[in-house]
Amino acid sequence: MASVDYSGPLTPTGNLRRRRVVDRLARGSATAAAVLAVAILLIFIYSIVQHGASVISLSFLTKNPLETFSVSGNAPVGGIGNAIVGSLLIVAIGTAIALPIGVLIALFLTEFASPRWAGPVRLALDLLYGLPSIVIALFLYGLLVVGHGQAGVYASLALAIIMVPLIARTTGESLGLVPKELRDASLALGISRWRTTVGLTIPSAFGGIVTGTVLAVARAAGETAPVLLLSSLANPTQTSGSVFSQPLNNLPYDIYNFSVEGGATNFAKAWGAALVLVTFVLVANFTARALHARSRRMMSR
């Protein structure tokens, strides 16, 4: 019987050394890419804070401009209070539209759809998720604005279309984490399928649903194309709540207007409005991460 040399496979060879070099290169490249991504984000945030912090004040955040934008380069006196209110209204209505639709789509895919139907629906969600916001805005512009005029609700509809795929995907992932044994136990007790879904599955995945909604809100809040095409012709000196009949002032449009007018004061106000918008997006993302971590801890118990 031939003897086996157990030390042979452990002896370094040229191939082993090559694999170690490749391994170090791969790890170094991945680490460098991660560091680069974080560095770009930090530089981006630092630049916005550096340029925009000087104009942030209670008056800037709560008061409206006292005159319209001027081509002279002088910024309108006042702040962005009406733009903040308008953005909140547009995003809130968009969320109210997108949330039930996204949750219902996720419920259909995870609880009721057969593979024959689930595949096309998921493909449609992926295509909708990747659709440029300018295309969505242009479609709604031709469908609703032409012949009728702009309104804040039209921008909300565009944001809802953007949010639905994200809410549906994150909700579906959360519903998929609910143990199948819970559903089976409920059905074994004679509880109907819809009551099991409403009373057991959805509450168990509630944290994930909230997380997906917050992430969708964070993404929609910074979209510029929909509000430029669908809700940009508002009176910049007034605060309007008529979201269904009038266009509303909003932060992306104010940033655009301040930038194109030029002048040091206008650019400073644009940076300040950008800082407010980025702060909202960052807070929403951190909140979503915290809710997601809490939801995973609760699901693992």
Give the Cα separation of 105 and 107 in Å (integer): 5
Q: What does the block give as tokens for 180?
A: 């199948």
Quick one: pLDDT at residue 242?
Answer: 83
User: E-assigned strands of 27-180?
Assistant: none
Q: What does the block give as tokens for 234?
A: 């508002």
Query: Is a pLDDT exceeding 90 seen at residue 77?
Result: no
Instruction: Tell me the per-residue pLDDT of 21-47, one tens digit each, with 9 for 90 and over.
Output: 888 999 999 999 999 999 999 999 999
55 close to 268: Cβ distance less than 8 angstroms: yes
37 lies in some domain = no
Structural domain range at position 127: 54-300
47 lies in some domain = no
170 lies in some domain = yes
Instruction: Tell me the per-residue pLDDT of 226-262, one tens digit each, with 9 for 90 and over.
Output: 998 998 888 887 888 788 888 998 999 888 888 887 7
Q: Other C-beta atoms within 10 Å of 158: how many? A: 29
pTM of the complete model? 0.82
45 lies in some domain = no
Question: Among candidates 208, 247, 285, which has minimal Cα distance to 90?
Answer: 247
81 lies in some domain = yes
Give the Cα separation of 74 and 252 in Å (integer): 19
6 lies in some domain = no
277 lies in some domain = yes
Counting the structural domains of the chain, the total is: 1
Which CATH number goes with the domain that contains 58?
A: 1.10.3720.10
Contacts of 223 (CB under 8 A, 6+ apart): 133, 158, 159, 162, 252
Quick one: pLDDT at residue 183?
Answer: 80
Give the Cα separation of 217 and 24 in Å (integer): 40
235 lies in some domain = yes
User: Is 193 in a helix, a strand, or coil?
Assistant: helix
